[in-house]
Amino acid sequence: TMSTSTTSTASDPRPYVPERRGILFIISAPSGTGKTTLCKQITASVPGIWHSVSYTTRQPRTGEEHGREYFFIEEKIFQDMVAKNEFMEYAHVYGNWYGTPRKALMDKMEQGIDVLLEIDVQGALQIKKKVQDAVYIFILPPSMETLRTRLQSRASDTPEEIQRRLQKVKEEVWSFREYYYIVRNDNLEQSLKELQSVFLAERLKTKRLDMHWLEQNFILEKESKPGDR
């Protein structure tokens, strides 16, 4: 299990420290893919996931809240944070800066809590150089036509902005090769199921097994070994 309590047993006075670090899940997708909705749903439906909140220099969209979707900050503050090495990764996307705060992420992972990063391809590639064992998931839109319709219904973007994003999508789709899992989002419910499967299966991988828990429960005591008298 993923307990973070500090209980110890009579036979073993060591405090219980989870050996399993949190898993880092990275989800990237072209904009308009439904990624944000899917990420919200996955965090709500799979226990033990912390959705990291990035910093950005872009303006909040209607309905977005400081500290919930992003920390909305000025460029000067962003550059200060870069200089102080406070970002795990950062990138310039569609004319704005975005960055993942390093400390919050490391703290959660050390506590054994799984972390979800919703970041662009540049950011994912930076993480790939630094973090072992992260899980890379790419979400594809069903088609360019669907994507165009979705972007147009999101009234916040100008036609030029939409055109720019669609062009970017055509290039970005090919980054799928860098990722370990691909979810094609034709249908939100189906995609959520697929994502949940990835999260659950990753947790079951042999390499993620909490060895301390295994030893505590399954090492045979001397006196109980068959054949011993």
Q: What angle do CA 65, 25, 27 make, to 5 degrees?
A: 65
Burial class (CB in 10 A: 0-12, 13-18, 19+), 185: buried
Asked if 100 is part of the footprint of ligand 5GP (rule: CB under 6 A), the reply reads yes
Alpha-carbon distance of 24 to 125, in angstroms, equals: 14
Closest contact distance (angstroms) between CB of 49 and ligand 5GP is 17
Asked if 58 is part of the footprint of ligand 5GP (rule: CB under 6 A), the reply reads yes
Tell me whether residue 8 or residue 167 sits nearer to ligand 5GP (CB atom): 167
Asked if 54 is part of the footprint of ligand 5GP (rule: CB under 6 A), the reply reads yes
Contacts to ligand 5GP from residues 11-50, by CB under 6 A: 31
Write the DSSP symbol of residue 91: E
Closest contact distance (angstroms) between CB of 98 and ligand 5GP is 3
Query: In sequence order, what are the residues at sequence separation of 6 or more whose Cβ sits closer than 8 angstroms to the Cβ of residue 31?
Result: 94, 151, 165, 168, 169
Asked if 172 is part of the footprint of ligand 5GP (rule: CB under 6 A), the reply reads no
Beta partners for residue 97, in sequence order: 92
Asked if 119 is part of the footprint of ligand 5GP (rule: CB under 6 A), the reply reads yes
Residues that bind ligand 5GP (CB under 6 A): 31, 54, 58, 89, 91, 93, 98-100, 118-120, 122-123
